[in-house]
Every structure is written in structure tokens, then in C-alpha cells.
Amino acid sequence: MTDAPSSLVNSEPIRPVADAEGRSDATLLALACDARSRIHAAVATTVVGQEEALDALLIALFARGHAILVGVPGLAKTLLVSTLGSALDLTFGRIQFTPDLLPSDVTGADVLVDEIVPGTHDLRRAIRFQPGPVFHSLVLADEVNRTPPKTQAALLQAMQEREVTVGNTTHQLPEPFAVFATRNPIEQEGTYTLPEAQLDRFLLEIHMGYPSEANERAIARKATHAAHERGRPVLSRTDVVAIQSLIPRIPITDDAVNRAVAIVRATRPDDPRASAATRDFVRFGAGPRASQSLVRTAKARAALGGHAAADVDDILAMAPMVLRHRVVLNFRAESEGIRDIDIVRAVIENTKLS
């Protein structure tokens, strides 16, 4: 574990705060670093490669956020999330998003049931809430862009407030709670654009690429082997919650916070520090939630690496995944083939020079 830098926000080095089991922050920091190694080993028995995507999912989970996985078919997006669910002592639910999916198929609904009156043989009718698949700690929203906006909106309250309102009753979701969604970037027939308000609820947008040649050979060999039985969870629900509670207490340097805010503000075309590319190709830049997300994910990345504080390197590493889905390009950018990641990378480079 490295020493904390001297210039910190909130911040003396990690204090001896104890969790419900009496573990200090230093102990929880060691647990987070060890958990990363154990989860990688557990997932590797089923999924070949994709270590960077798995790290990003863990950062989103421990930062109490949600993530969207983007990649062409066959890259093990769904398998990666479901295998991660098996490696954790969390309830796991999968929602296959389709054009005919209804909001109640996601959240659940009040249903009319017949029940026996206690102490008698009489029947009475009562309304009972039947929870939907969103009432799990880890929810896989598979191909989230294949359902209409009305159904997509059913996730908004769950993702932001961690509760669901059905009728006149609000139901709390389990703790921890995370939504990991998948999206196919190339097949657009039968899909719906995700609203910016919903995209902003995702802490990270994780793009998965093709495997290396060596990994692809390993994947091909696995296809001829018997199905691998998934083992027991390597991290308990209590440990997941404890690590999540640790992340806000991880110190972060003043330089890192300043860099995070500078990068986010530079994505806005009307900001004085915006580059020519931002002014020419960006319609709307990232909002203040992006600055908060950058700091949260930087802290989670530092903790998973066993570092006692987050620094500028953590901000720079997380910026592309935090910002690319929050930058809205204009028509000129689309016509000239400019991508959101091109703008984000240019912004990051420009802030290094300023």
C-alpha cells in the first residue's frame, strides 16, 4: 500500500474508521485490493480475457454506480456480467429487453390474489406487490436499447433513487444495487436511442474490443470443452457493502480534483477553455454529475489498486469511460465522422498542456 500524497482533499491519510464488523479503513483497503485479484481469478475460469472491462465493472460496482457495456455480438458481454454475479454473494437478475417489454415487466406490479382468511376456510381477495427482476442486487439489462423509451424510463427511478414506485407505494431496492446494461453498437434495426437523461445515470460506458489472437484461440478451445461449473462466491455481500462505504473516504489530491473539473468543463462548447474541436463539433458537454463521477471512480480505482489516495493518473484513466456517453455531438461531427471518444481524448490532451 502506497503512502498518501501530501496535498489532499478532505484529507488526512485514511483514518481508523471501523465498519460494522470493526474493520479499519486500512483493513478494508487491503480487502478491496485482494478482492480484485480473487474476482479476476474466479471470472477467468469462464471468461477469457476482457480484464480491463472487468476492472471497469468492479469500479462501477464499488463506486455505487451503474455501467453500460458496448460491443459487437460475441464478445462475452452478457457472460462477463453473469459470471461476475456468480463470483459475488449478490442476488442476480437478468432482463432481456425487447420491443414488447412493459414497464411492469421490469419493476413488478400489484396483483390481485385469493388468500385464506386466518382461522377460517373463507377466501378473500387482496392486492399484493409482485416484485420484478429489478429487485436484485446485480441487474443485467441485456440489449437495453431494444425497448421503447417508456420501458427504458422504468429504470430511471431505480438507478437514481434506488427505489421503485408502483401505484401509491414506494419499494426500496436491495443494498447493494447496480445495473449493468449491454448495447450492440452496429445493429440499429429495431433499436431505440437511449435518452441523455438515462445515459447520464450510467457512471461508466465501457467499450469492449475484439480479443487478442492468443485469447481467441483459447476461446475456440473452450468451445470444445464441457461446460465449466461456477464455484462459490469469492466475496460476501457484507464485504461488497463495506468496500462501497470505504470509497467516499478515500482521499484525493487537490490536483486530481482540479484536473477532473477542468476536463469536464472543457467538453462544453460555451466554456472559455473549450478547444476549437469542442466548439466545432459538440452540441452539449458533460454536466456537473460528470465531475462527481470522475472523482468517485478515481477513488474506486485507487482503492482496487491498493493505493491510499487517488491522484491525477486515476482521473486520466477514468475520464474516457466517464465522459464519452455524456458528450452530445452535433450534425457536423456526425457528417465528418468525428466520434465522441475523439473529442474526449482531445480534451484530455489539451488539459495536460494547460
SS3 at position 189: coil
Low-confidence ranges of the chain (pLDDT < 50): 1-7, 9-18
Determine the CATH number of domain 8-220+233-353: 3.40.50.300
C-alpha cell recorded at residue 140: 443485467
Rounded Cα–Cα distance for residues 221 and 160 (Å):
42
Task: Tell which residue, 196, 223, 206, has the closest CA to residue 326.
Answer: 196
What is the separation of C-alpha 48 from the centre of its chain, rounded to a whole number of angstroms? Answer: 21
Domain ranges of the chain: 8-220+233-353
pLDDT of residue 190: 59
pTM: 0.86
pLDDT for the residue 204: 94
| Grid cell digits, residue 40 | 479476476
pLDDT value, residue 61 = 95
What cell numbers appear for 68 in the block?
A: 453500460
Helix, strand, coil % in the chain, rounded to nearest 5: 45, 20, 40
Distances (CA, A) of 339 to 11, 52, 82, 283, 343: 38, 21, 30, 13, 7
pLDDT of 15:
43
Model pLDDT, residue 37:
92
CB 304 within 8 A of CB 55: yes
pLDDT for the residue 14 = 42
The pLDDT, as a whole number, for residue 19 is: 57
